[in-house]
Structure 1
Amino acid sequence: MKNMAYDDATEMESDQQELDAMQALRPVPRISIHAFCETEGVSGPIERAGEDRRMAKTHLKIQMGGIATAIDFYQGTPTPNLVIVESHSEPGVLLEQLAQLAQHCDPGTKVVVIGHYNDVGLYRDLIRNGVSEYVVAPVTIADIVSIIAAIFVDPDAKPIGRSIAFVGAKGGTGSSTIAHNVGWAISSLFASEVVVADLDLAFGTANINFDQDPAQGIAEAVFSPERVDEVYLDRLLAQCAQNLSLLAAPSTLERTYDFQPDAFTQIIEVAQRTAPILILDVPHIWSGWSKDTLMRADEVVITATPELANLRNTKNLMDMLKNLRPNDQPPKLILNQTGVLKRPEISVQDFFGPLEIEPLAVIPFDPQLFGHAANNGRMLGEMDAKHPVVATINEIAHVLTGRAEIKTARKAGLGSILGKLRRAK
């Protein structure tokens, strides 16, 4: 029993390390990749890597068979940007096979070899002969994506900001309010540049919450994606605070907003090059573009209220995002508007128990604080910096920027909330 428990703990730690490694990887550009594998132990991770959001732009084909199969395949076919081959051959034979493969490779094609010999001399010979990388099996998804990124992502390129998508499990959960206040907290607590993008073009509230009325905003960018670059985006941003900018929604019904799945991709990629943190305020709809936006985000935060429909929708969202983002951390969950007088509610334990996840935060219903802030176009921290809800928002900001763990944030936030509820009774 002890050995089984130790093995389970070791496996969980290994899985967590792989997820952490994946978080640091940058998206791979639009390239074509062919992989020739001899074993399922290698083809499996490559196939799953191809499904990862960081590889969304790549075109991947996998065939069973090693270098000999690749040589036959490229007799009359142009080679892609990258060829990955697995080989059990001993070093001398492997070098001969790769020399034959090189005769059929286009000049710009990169080659990665996955072998089964842990030999430093072999590695040096392969690199000397033009192989981009040699990896010893077994390999993980993180290994595959990191190798491809190392070859094709420019190391001198500007850092890419972290995108955090907020979405409500149901309409009216307060997801937008939480998103805006967390963005403001990050910008003020850490003096870090933050861009808040309101993706609800018809009914967005970011302009009201930040007391802004910009003449231009995200609509101009989404309807003219060919014009979007850092200079153009900078003209569309409204300055809300010293370190906080807003890409506002028009919040009008003069036109309908039906978009292709990748409609916001260009905007998000450019915005990530302008600020370390990008807050995506995603409306509660399920469409091709909202699904794509949630899939591509670095982090997803779901806000729910303690009701049955919210629990069902949260479970559905989590299951879907787990399938869409198999190599990422699960979404973080905020339970909002708890403790509404005389309203039957699902308890915190009963809400999060079926989901098998710890809450990022539990925020009590406080109509006076939230109402005054909304009506005055101010953030919660501007209204009452010492309020327990503001402390919880600050804890959320710490967790989402990697400055604290969920467990710590949860204890602090939940303790203050339960104390407040006890006092109310």
Structure 2
Amino acid sequence: MNAPWKSGSTNGRDQFAAYLCDETSLDVLRPVAIEMGWQPEKCNKGGLRNAVQSLSIAASPNILLVDLSESGDPLNDINALAEVCEPGTVVIAVGQVNDVRLYRDLIASGIHDYLLKPLSHGQLRDALTHAQAVFSQPRAHDSGGVKQHISTAVIGTRGGVGASTVATSLAWLFSADEKLPTALLDLDIHFGTGALCLDLEPGRGLTDAIENPSRIDGLFIERAMIRANDNLAILSAEAPINAPLLTDGAAFIQLEEEFRQAFEMTMIDLPRNMLINFPQLVADVNVVVLVTELTLASARDSIRLLSWLKVNAPHARVIVVANKVQPAVTEISKSDFEASIETKIAFSIPYDIKAASTAAKLGQTFVDANRAGKGGAVLRDLSNTIISVGGEKAAPAKSGGKSLLGKIDFKALMAKGKKAPAKAG
């Protein structure tokens, strides 16, 4: 219904429809509808259940007025209505129960307004006029909007470097601090922690999308995604580990396209192994955040991933972020690491096990639970950078003549007391 990430064209849809239980209310509504320029025939006898039955076989209108007077469980019935309403429909409920808790629950469920009976001409006209203004206001993704959609992929060079922590924190900052409608897509289908970091159940939305890519549209997005706050929705999965991932990647591309239409920010928690089978995932990404640690293994894989991104996503701005930094105990110094990968580390997040434990215990993102900490400050700087560079094209990286492993000066590292890994023959 009227969610903050609503999408949609109005082509082929009626401007207004109403389903009211009693003739007295209909007699008040019909003159208002005519005054608004709508057909009085769209004012139907019957309450919410009649609306659900009718809209299950016909397109929902731009503005829908429904009567809850005969509903024994209004919230449950509203959820049934959401199943048949197209994205963007502005719904006004009418009822006889004067209960502030019911009002709040209805508003939280996506209802635009709740009117008490008996209805009056002025009350209806004001509510419908406001609903019309809400429906007509420019969406963030409309061509007239000033804000550009930014898609960011967060990739970890190794398992456990904290890519998911960074991805969920950035998504939270975009949505909670910047008030930008944000989608978080966790593509670790079997072991993702995106929902877990937000203390949410992942649902079946992502697995349903993979199994039935043809179902993916604006309505599917609105129903399948789990809301974390007013501006953040997440799509993730905990697929059974005995169920292999069988997909050609079409679902992921379709999801990214729908996100561009419905949100201002897309955050993709992208496991590095997904790049092997689905390189098209970064085809339309604006920013890639490469999360690494200052270790030999991470240096090797940073080189490989940076080289891969230069070929497969030359348009994207790549930001290297060092996580869990402990200057006294790193395998490689920051300067040696940067020399090896031939790229500067843009941000360094200090290692703070206490802060990470606090976030886990509270069921909050790292940045939300540790706003006063140094790590939180670094993540806020990173989010500001992404917002500012999202539309820019990355400068071409310098190409070198060395092999990937040859770019690491193993002799220099060994001279500093480090053991170099054996080169593959």
Pairwise TM-score range, normalised by the shorter structure? 0.5 to 0.7
Gaps of 5+ in 2: 1-141, 393-425
The 1:362–1:157 alpha-carbon spacing in structure 2 relative to 1, beyond 3 Å, is closer
Encode CA deviations 1:236-269: one digit per residue, 9 max, x unaligned. 1111012111112225324111321444111111
Report 1:265-414 matches (<5 A): 265-326=253-314, 328-339=315-326, 343-402=329-388
1:167 maps to 155
When residues 379 and 271 of structure 1 are mapped into structure 2, their CA distance, relative to the original with a 3 A threshold, is: same
1:90-169 aligned at under 5 Å gives the runs 161-169=149-157
Q: 2:192 aligns with which of 204, 216, 223?
A: 204
1:159: Cα distance to partner? 7.8
Gaps of 5+ in 1: 1-153, 407-425
Shift, 1:170, TM fit: 0.9
Distance 1:393 1:287, change over 3 A: closer
CA distance in 2, matches of 1:251, 1:391: 34
Distance 2:382 2:181 in 1: 17
Deviation sequence 1:248-300 (CA, Å, 0-9, x none)? 22253241113214441111111121100000001131555442213432211
SS of equivalent to 1:402: helix
Q: Deviations over 1:39-87 (max 9, x none)?
A: xxxxxxxxxxxxxxxxxxxxxxxxxxxxxxxxxxxxxxxxxxxxxxxxx
Query: Aligned with 2:388: secondary structure?
Result: coil
d(CA) in 2 for partners of 1:235, 1:162: 23
**Deviation at 1:323?**
1.2
Residues 331-361 of structure 1 show CA distances to partners (whole Å, capped at 9, x for unaligned) of 21100111077x4421111111233323221
Alignment deviations for residues 14-62 of structure 1 (CA, whole Å, 9 cap, x no partner): xxxxxxxxxxxxxxxxxxxxxxxxxxxxxxxxxxxxxxxxxxxxxxxxx
Amino acid corresponding to residue 164 of structure 2 in structure 1: S
Residues 191, 157 of structure 1: CA spacing in aligned structure 2 closer, same or farther, 3 A cutoff?
A: closer
The corresponding residue for 2:245 is: 257
CA-CA distance at 1:384 after TM superposition? 2.7
What is the aligned partner in structure 1 of residue 4 from structure 2?
none
Q: Percent same amino acid among aligned pairs?
A: 24
Deviations 1:360-409 (A, max 9, x none): 210111111012212432122332321111111100110000079x9xxx
What is the aligned partner in structure 1 of residue 421 from structure 2? none
Q: Distance in 2 between matches of 1:297 and 1:289?
A: 17
For residues 45-56 of structure 1, what are the structure 2 equivalents within 5 Å? none
Q: Supply the AA of the counterpart residue of 2:373.
A: H
Contact 2:324 2:349 in 1 (8 A): yes
Say if 1:235 and 1:371 are closer, same or farther in 2 by CA, change over 3 A: same
Task: Please give the alpha-carbon distance, in whole angstroms, between the structure 2 residues aligned to 1:158 and 1:253.
Answer: 44
Change (3 A) 1:268 1:160: farther
Candidates 209, 212, 216, aligned match of 1:221: 209
1:239 partnered with 2:227: yes
Aligned to 2:218: 230
* Cα gap change, 1:246 to 1:329, in 2 (>3 Å): closer
Does the CA contact (< 8 Å) of 1:194 and 1:245 recur in 2?
Answer: yes
Q: Distance in 2 between matches of 1:293 and 1:158?
A: 26
Q: Is the 8 A contact 1:264 1:289 kept in 2?
A: no
Paired residue secondary structure (2:179):
coil
Distance 1:222 1:161, change over 3 A: farther
In 2, distance between residues paired with 1:381 and 1:300?
Answer: 19
**CA–CA separation in structure 2 for the residues paired with 1:262 and 1:349:** 41
Look up the SS of the partner of 2:262 in the other structure.
coil
SS of the residue corresponding to residue 166 of structure 1 reads strand
Matched residue count: 251
Change in CA separation of 1:156 and 1:381 when aligned onto 2, cut-off 3 Å: closer
TM-score, normalised on structure 1? 0.55
1:155, CA displacement in angstroms?
6.0
| Rounded Cα–Cα distance in structure 1 between residues aligned with 2:143 and 2:379 | 35
Q: Which residue of 2 aligns with 1:413?
A: none
Cα distance change of structure 1 residues 266 and 160 upon mapping to structure 2, 3 Å threshold:
farther
Aligned-partner Cα distance in 1 for 2:299–2:269: 21
- What is the TM-score with the length of structure 2 in the denominator? 0.55
**2:258 & 2:161 partners in 1: Cα distance?**
29
Q: Distance in 2 between matches of 1:170 and 1:298?
A: 22
Deviates more, 1:170-179 or 1:240-249: 240-249
- Is the 1:166–1:300 Cα contact (8 Å) retained in structure 2? yes
Structure 1 distance, partners of 2:275, 2:343, is: 26
What is the RMSD of the two structures over their aligned residues, measured on CA atoms? Answer: 2.7
Task: Specify whether residues 158 and 188 from structure 1 end up closer, same or farther in structure 2 by C-alpha distance, changes over 3 A only.
Answer: closer
Distance 1:157 1:364 in 2: 38
Query: In 2, distance between residues paired with 1:192 and 1:159?
Result: 10
CA contact (8 A) 2:317 2:389 kept: no
